[in-house]
A = this chain, B = another copy of it.
Amino acid sequence: MSDNGSDRPAGDDHLPVAVDAMGGDEAPEIVVRGAIEAAESHGTPVLLVGDPDRLGDTGGLPIEPATEVVEMGADPAKAVRRLKDSSIVRAAEAVRDGRASALLSAGNTGAAMAASLLRMGRIKGVARPAIAVPFPVLGSTPTTLLDCGANADCQPEWLVQFARLGTAYARHRFDLERPRVAILTIGEEAGKGNSLVKEACELLEEPEWAEACGASYVGNIEGGDLMAGLADVVVCDGFTGNVTLKSLEGGFDIFKASTRRALADRAELAGLDGVIGEALDPLYDGVFNASRTGAAMLLGTRGVTLIAHGSSSQSTIANAIQTADEMARAGILDAIRQAVGAPAP
């Protein structure tokens, strides 16, 4: 550990965010720079976890040494079990041991989940942790979809618990007093969907769970309305959530590139590249940018775990670190404990 002021003992009121410095397409460079930006611009304390010989100039940020790296394509569970001195495992341990308030990784998503689960453990009462991802809604608060990939096969009861987890998340992340919760399905009318959704709908329509966690259940939502701002939290199984998330990310990438190309191809617009860029960049690099819509959060483990896109830029990393810090300080873990501790439907 470095000897600067961030090396605080557990129990301090402002613990650092443990950042997996070795995870990400351009790690460690971009991650270290993002961490420095978070510390300098937002005053967020950061603990960089990684190989000290490879991190370069950390701008005085403390380093937790870890000599191994879980590669992007590695089998998550195996890698986490085998690579005990990897940056993602050491970062999760720093949270477990009370030396960090939260974990951020832009590396292997499965490894971040596995490290969080195996090192921090589940919150009592949580059947299955879920990945929550905010989807952009133009001119309004994002809509959070979960599960986006932690559980490929789900039980109906888990979807009700995802609704509880998502409610706690939306309240703390977006300051919503009574989040509107919907279920993702393939028709507007009640009773439309596959067998999982039909069973989950019956459970979600019971008023107890929503009353207990302060949600407002608004029923079905179709894929076409996912970004229309009709709900704050949308639940689905992790297979559907992941396919939907990836399809939209991939679709938007193609859409953005083809729009820019179509405009660039018009001779009359030559020389206006700069103006067109200024008009589109906030939308394309901001709102409709997978790495900018906010890091995904694993809900249900005994620690704040944020997972950023592998292609995250420096400022995206900095924002994600700030979000991790805010979520930890806002007491998201206690809120989740309370949300799942309430009477089951």
Q: A243 near B240 (CB under 8 angstroms)?
A: yes
Oligomeric state, in copies: 2
Q: Which residues of B lie under 8 Å from residue A249 when comparing CB positions?
A: 223-224
- Chain B nearest CB, measured from A230 CB (Å): 11
Interface residues of A in 115-158 (CB under 8 A from B): 138, 149, 152-153
A227 within 8 A of B: yes
State whether A246 touches B259 (Cβ < 8 A): no
Contact B252 A279 (CB under 8 A): no
B residues in contact with A236, CB < 8 Å: 243
Taking a contact as CB atoms under 8 Å apart, the answer to whether B246 and A247 are in contact is: no
A contacts with B: majority SS:
helix
Also in contact, A243 and B269, with CB within 8 A (given A251-B252, A252-B251): no
Contact A255/B252 with A239-B193, A269-B275, A275-B269 known, Cβ cut-off 8 Å: yes
Contact flags (1/0) for A271-295 with B, using CB distance below 8 Å?
Answer: 0100110111011000110000000
In the complex, how many residues of chain A place their beta carbon closer than 8 angstroms to a beta carbon of chain B?
55
Instruction: Please tell me if the beta carbons of B239 and A223 are within 8 angstroms of each other in the complex.
Output: no
On chain B, the residues within 8 Å of A226 by CB distance are 247, 250-251
CB pair B242 A244 closer than 8 Å? no
Q: What CA separation (Å) do A278 and B268 show in the bound complex?
A: 11
Q: Does A194 contact B (CB under 8 A)?
A: yes
Q: Is A222 engaged at the interface, CB distance under 8 Å to the other chain?
A: yes
Instruction: Say whether A186 contacts B251, CB under 8 Å.
Output: no
* Given contacts A138-B254, A250-B227, A243 and B280 within 8 Å (CB-CB): no
Contact A255 B288 (CB under 8 A): yes
